[in-house]
Amino acid sequence: MSEFLAMGGYAAYVWPTYGATALVMVVLLVVSVRGAKRAEREARALEALSPRRRRKAEKR
């Protein structure tokens, strides 16, 4: 196991790279979720401002 963790002498380069990649993925997830929630709120606000459409059956 210690050989695997040492990564053939390149552990000082490999593990920080994995850590940076994991950090970027988490930040990307958080930014995406926040953006989706904001877009959802904006869509609801715009729908609330627009006049209600009648259904086809009600037009008769």
Helix or strand run (H / E) with residue 41: helix 11-49
- pLDDT of 57: 64
For residue 29, tell me if it sits in a domain. yes
- pLDDT of 52: 79
pTM: 0.69
Q: Which domain holds residue 26?
A: 21-47
For residue 25, tell me if it sits in a domain. yes
How many domains are contained in the chain?
1
For residue 54, tell me if it sits in a domain. no
For residue 56, tell me if it sits in a domain. no
Looking up tokens 């086809």, which residue turns up? Answer: 56
pLDDT tens digit at each of 60 positions of the chain: 999 999 999 999 999 999 999 999 999 999 999 999 999 999 999 999 888 776 666 665
- C-alpha to C-alpha distance for 18 and 10, rounded to whole angstroms: 12
- pLDDT of 38: 98
